[in-house]
A and B are shown apart, each in its own frame.
Chain A
Amino acid sequence: GENVEQHPSTLSVQEGDSAVIKCTYSDSASNYFPWYKQELGKRPQLIIDIRSNVGEKKDQRIAVTLNKTAKHFSLHITETQPEDSAVYFCAGTGNTPLVFGKGTRLSVIA
């Protein structure tokens, strides 16, 4: 089955800097890769997703890139703000339930 690995487990950046979180997956049949943000004490919320027929997708300060050959995908947050501090999860699936990475705790230091 699918295995999703996520790095780093913790990340601290200065406000205004960029943050990058990377994930790899094992199943070449996987074709859908969402990212979730979970603020302290709240539910995970979908922030962006990408499908395997697309190499990059942007939504304001957030972008996701996908390299199908290398089987990895990344979340990029530019101009980070304190409200970006949260735990971020990547996930992947082909035709089965989502398999999640272990999460990255992002701290944006003002």
Chain B
Amino acid sequence: DVKVTQSSRYLVKRTGEKVFLECVQDMDHENMFWYRQDPGLGLRLIYFSYDVKMKEKGDIPEGYSVSREKKERFSLILESASTNQTSMYLCASNLQGRNYGYTFGSGTRLTVV
């Protein structure tokens, strides 16, 4: 069974802090994604990666960066957390063929105060 694990279920951070959200998958998937989920807005793509060391901006990359040093790990970084980044963050992965359904992590609910 494919597992996508996000290191924290809930996080509370202060405005201006640097925040790291970690995601690890155990099925050798090439592709990994970060989405944020907000009520009424659905899932919006922040960044994605199709290979180690590779990253591409999604629809809402401002205020975020990512790191993919190993195939199984994709980290989302909030350089200087702001209150408008309070959200549910979902990591997902899938196979290289791309047109396959994602497997999602359980999500990290981040609150910035």
Chain A contacts to B: CB under 8 angstroms: 6, 9, 31-32, 34, 36, 42-46, 49, 51, 89, 93, 95, 97-103
Q: Which of chain B's residues have a CB closer than 8 A to the CB of A99?
A: 45
Interface size on B, residues (CB 8 A): 21
Q: Are B102's CB and A98's CB within 8 A?
A: yes
Binds A, one of B19-27, B60-68, B79-87, B103-111: B103-111
Name the contact of B99 in the complex, choosing from A6, A31, A42, A100 (C-beta under 8 A): A31
Q: Which of chain A's residues have a CB closer than 8 A to the CB of B105?
A: 43
Nearest-Cβ distance from residue B8 to partner chain A, whole angstroms:
14
Which residues of chain B (42-58) have a CB below 8 Å from chain A? 42-45, 48, 58
Give the number of residue pairs across the A-B interface with Cβ within 8 Å: 48
Q: Which of chain A's residues have a CB closer than 8 A to the CB of B101?
A: 34, 36, 46, 49
> Closest residue to A42 on the B side, CB-wise?
B106
Q: Are A51's CB and B99's CB within 8 A?
A: yes
Q: Which of chain A's residues have a CB closer than 8 A to the CB of B43?
A: 44, 89, 100
Q: Which of chain B's residues have a CB closer than 8 A to the CB of A43?
A: 90, 104-107
> Closest residue to A51 on the B side, CB-wise?
B99
Chain A CB within 10 Å, residue with most, of B35, B41, B104, B106:
B104
